[in-house]
């Protein structure tokens, strides 16, 4: 699982039928203190996340498909949580 920030959305009028009704988000993976790494992934939203939200992403195909409940869909990454706060030994990232 990765921590990431939603930096954009993708609109696709033609897409795999497995994605019907799904929102596609561009997510920039970040460090626990919120520093963006520039490593962006496209993830299917399952939790109603929006731009500038910090989210948890599952980026393993099988886990992503299980999170979507679509075992045969071509899914690489799925947003599975919206983050409210990250506590580490040295800092706290509050993103409410």
pLDDT confidence band for 93 (50 / 70 / 90): confident
pLDDT the model gives residue 64: 58
SS (HEC) of 52-68: CCEEEEECCHHHHHHHH
Which DSSP symbol is given to 22?
A: P
pLDDT the model gives residue 63: 61
Kindly list the domain boundaries of the chain, sorted by start residue: 2-94
Burial class of 24 by CB neighbour count within 10 A (0 to 12, 13 to 18, 19+): middle
Give the separation between CA 19 and CA 73, rounded to whole angstroms.
Answer: 8
* Closest among 9, 60, 54 to 29, alpha carbons compared: 54
Class of domain 2-94 (CATH, top level)? mainly beta
pLDDT confidence band for 13 (50 / 70 / 90): confident
pLDDT the model gives residue 29: 96
Average of pLDDT values for 43-60?
92
pLDDT the model gives residue 90: 77
């Amino acid at each position: 699982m990765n921590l990431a920030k939603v930096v954009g959305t993708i609109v696709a009028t033609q897409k795999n039928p497995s994605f019907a009704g799904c929102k596609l988000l561009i997510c920039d993976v970040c460090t626990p203190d919120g520093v963006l790494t520039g490593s962006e992934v496209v993830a299917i939203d399952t939790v109603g996340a929006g731009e500038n939200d910090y989210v948890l992403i599952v980026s393993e195909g099988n886990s992503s498909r299980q999170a979507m409940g679509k075992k045969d869909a071509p899914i690489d990454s799925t947003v599975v949580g919206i983050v409210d706060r990250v506590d580490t030994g040295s800092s706290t990232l509050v993103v409410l």
